[in-house]
Amino acid sequence: MTQSVATIAESYRARTPRSREMYEGGTSYTAGPAKGAYYYRPYPLAMERGEGRYLWDVDGNRYLDCANHHTAQVLGHNHPRVMEAVLAQMSRGLAVGAPMGPEADIAEEMCRRVDSVDRIRFVNSGTEATLHAIRLARGFSGKPKIAKFEGGYHGSHDPVEVSVAPPLAKAGPANAPNSVPGAGGSSPSVADEVVVLPYNDEEAVERLIVENRDDLACVIFDPKCGILNIRPEFARAVRRITRENGVLLIFDEIVAFRSSPGGLQAVFGIDPDLTCFGKIVGGGFPVGAFGGRADMMDLLDNSKPPSGFSQSGTFSSHPLAMTAGLAMLQELTPQACDHLNRLGDRLTGGLNEMFARKGIAAQCVNTGSVFSIYFSDRELRNYRDLAAVDGSLVSPTFLALLEEGYFLGHTLGMCCLSLPMTAEDVDGLIEATGRAVARAQAE
């Protein structure tokens, strides 16, 4: 493809004038984009519709969707079974303030799929799931602190926003990271409540947990699905260390649950005390969930004598989300997961072979069908490695891929494939990425 205008950004503007109009027309009322994740320079695309593996923007351009609404649309858009189930539920009522049945059906399905989950509760987002799981772990253990991994993301509440992306000048030693608050307006005491652990360093993790075990309620573990290559033996070591030291383990499957019918914990062979879910379990609707051991989860059962614990919410277990989520999970069979994972491995192998052949200092990492592209040929083991990666080629490569007809995450991180995609789609993305990087390098 030849470049018809002076720069990739100018080409983007020429192809997407209605997106620009919509963005500029709305920002006075929405404090920038409607949500933070939508924004990228020079302005975000506005989409007209999605169907199967494709998106169409408001200017009529079609894209192979390799973002899947932040990984949530694993079946692609408007899947017939999901749409049929949702329309049938809508005919019964959007929400009635009482159980309607789908919430019990999806709860049974989740407990059947995930060996470590005896009971489950549904909420409205991954943020709510991690908030309630941490609160339950603190109350159950009677201990005040939590531990999380440097660079791990678990939503938007004070303790989990510590050290998500700390400036390296403030981050402290790699094997004993500082606790660095990451959100304006956080509680002044939040840094004292969080122990920060390094990824892929078993020795440091064990030392930090042993040092803090008397105050440590839980470790919440984001496996960085498709972002870092987290070794299964490292995940198993975290489980062993937490168990030996009387610390609860919360496993964050919000992205990773598409890895297998039993989630990434089944792949790794670990059994966390609590697990958080989201994304695909809502079938495209807002959702979160947390579940685990019966002795912990039953503290939320208000049909029993008061325990001091509670969880509810106007839209928790919303029947549309429960209906759509169940339909999506029923389509995500072992065969479907295998197909997705094979595509992810094909993409990573093909991109890395192409980068090596063309002498491009770049790499792709994946966990099943979730993948990220980095402009570095160094081994990437932890947050510090990711923070040191050169980002100058990311935006022009992303914009050039849009012109090729591929919609990825604008950071080229936590992208993903969907079930309707084929090997030919993956091979086309590999070839397009080679052309896009060449254009970005020529800028």
Q: Which residues are catalytic?
A: 153, 252, 279
Determine the Cα–Cα distance for residues 275 and 273; give it in Å rounded to an integer: 7
- Sequence-distant (≥ 6) Cβ neighbours of residue 240 within 8 angstroms: none
Q: Starting at the earlier edge strand, list the strands of the sheet with 47-51.
A: 47-51, 54-57, 62-66, 406-408
Question: Please, what is the angle between helix 334-358 and helix 423-442, to 10°?
Answer: 30
**Which tokens go with 434?**
């080679």
